[in-house]
Amino acid sequence: MANAHSIDTGAGHGSVRSYVIGFVLSVVLTAAAFGLVMQQVFGPTESIIAIAMLAFIQILVHLVFFLHMNTSSSQRWNLLSLASAVLVAVILIGGTLWVLHNVGAHMMSR
Amino acid sequence: MLQKTIPLDLPGSHDDHGASNTVLGFWVYLMTDCIIFASLFAVFAVMGHQFAGGPTGKDVFELPLVMLETAILLVSSITFGFGMLAAHKGKSTALLAWLGVTFLLGVVFIGLEIHEFSTLLAQGYGPDRSAFLSAFFTLVATHGLHVAVGLIWMVVLAVQVIGNKKITQRDLTRLTCLSLFWHFLDIVWICVFTFVYLTSVV
């Protein structure tokens, strides 16, 4: 922990403005996801891709506007731990699906 | 270990650096929690299509209810945010009011989830019915349990703020940790409504 200037680690305060922007963006993204599915705008595969992208964008919106994450040096350790957790999650979920998909294919259980 | 933690717990020693380490430590805990949820999502992704002749997501999920839960959690995120802004300005009355609103929203969310679960159980669609329902109950109940713990924590902090008469640096550190926790749970919920409810219904 060499960076002694990391006083605000993870504790950015934000402002009414940033919370309201984040809220409005989240409402739009959530409504879009539910609307796409409930109105059956696309077929199943396209819908899943579309709502997955909407979810990804909304997670970024929450991280920036609600959790006040940014790329400043004071947040280096927060970002690094987030990046490592995301890496583990991707390996965990992707690896599980990959391995078990292959198992399913070989066992002809599907 | 003990010697490292003692200075942080002494009153008056809560300088900014100690507080920032506490918050970073809590953030690292949240990242490990994130991995717990990742493994539960992986389980759901694998088990989500194994219905064992039981109901599918299309049969049992009520999207309007999920939409209401989503809206409540999202509003509670912004009300908690406003509470934190009040806390940083030292306005304890406003903080307590926003915490109260957030708490009520959280209680309604938990109530809706209990309603959803009890409806499923009453129909015989409990976690023992199929792999799909096991994975669903485990994932969504783990999230719900986190929200419930957040609510208990909120009450504890509110009582501390009331007891202290004013918001101390220590209160602020604890409130910051809880706000990270609360916003984190909202992010997990984004994944729940997207990858559990919506993808099961398309």
Q: What is the CATH number of the domain that holds B126?
A: 1.20.120.80
Instruction: Tell me whether residue B183 is in a domain.
Output: yes
Which of B27, B35, B199 is opposite residue A48, by nearest beta carbon? B199
Instruction: Tell me whether residue B104 is in a domain.
Output: yes
B191 and A62 within 8 Å at the Cβ level: the answer is no
CA distance A54 to chain B (A): 9
Q: Average pLDDT in the A86-91 region?
A: 96
Confidence check on the interface: ipTM exceeds 0.90, yes or no: no
> Alpha-carbon distance B182 to A42, whole Å?
33
Q: Average pLDDT in the A46-58 region?
A: 96
Q: Average pLDDT in the B6-18 region?
A: 46
Instruction: Tell me whether residue B78 is in a domain.
Output: yes
Count of CB atoms within 10 A of residue B12's CB?
8
Instruction: Tell me whether residue B151 is in a domain.
Output: yes
Q: Which domain holds residue B83?
A: 16-201
Where do the structural domains in chain A lie, given as residue ranges?
12-69, 73-110
Secondary structure of chain A in HEC code, one letter for each residue = CCCCCCCCCCCCCCCHHHHHHHHHHHHHHHHHHHHHHHCCCCCHHHHHHHHHHHHHHHHHHHHHHHCCCCCCHHHHHHHHHHHHHHHHHHHHHHHHHHHHHHHHHHHCCC
Do A15 and B85 form a contact (C-beta atoms < 8 A)? yes
Instruction: Tell me whether residue B47 is in a domain.
Output: yes
Q: Distance of CA B93 to CAs A11, B12, B84, B98, B100, Å?
A: 21, 23, 12, 9, 10
pLDDT category at B199 given cuts 50, 70, 90 is very high
B16 contact residues in A (CB cutoff 8 A): 7
CA distance A15 to chain B (A): 7
CA distance A106 to chain B (A): 15
> Alpha-carbon distance B165 to B92, whole Å?
8
Side-chain-side CA neighbours of residue B93 (13 Å) = 0
Nearest chain B residue to A45 by CA distance is: B202
Instruction: Tell me whether residue B4 is in a domain.
Output: no
Whether B4 has a pLDDT exceeding 80, the answer reads no
What does the pLDDT look like over B40-71, one tens digit per residue?
999 999 999 899 999 999 999 999 999 999 99
Which of B34, B186, B194 is opposite residue A52, by nearest beta carbon? B194
Instruction: Tell me whether residue B11 is in a domain.
Output: no
Instruction: Tell me whether residue B98 is in a domain.
Output: yes
Whether B12 has a pLDDT exceeding 60, the answer reads no
| Most A-contacting residue of B16, B70, B198 (CB-CB within 10 A), to test interface | B198
Nearest chain B residue to A54 by CA distance is: B194
Whether B17 has a pLDDT exceeding 80, the answer reads no
| Most A-contacting residue of B4, B17, B20, B80 (CB-CB within 10 A), to test interface | B20
What does the pLDDT look like over B83-134, one tens digit per residue?
999 999 999 999 999 999 999 999 999 999 999 999 999 999 999 999 999 9
pTM for the full predicted model: 0.88
In total, how many domains does chain B have? 1
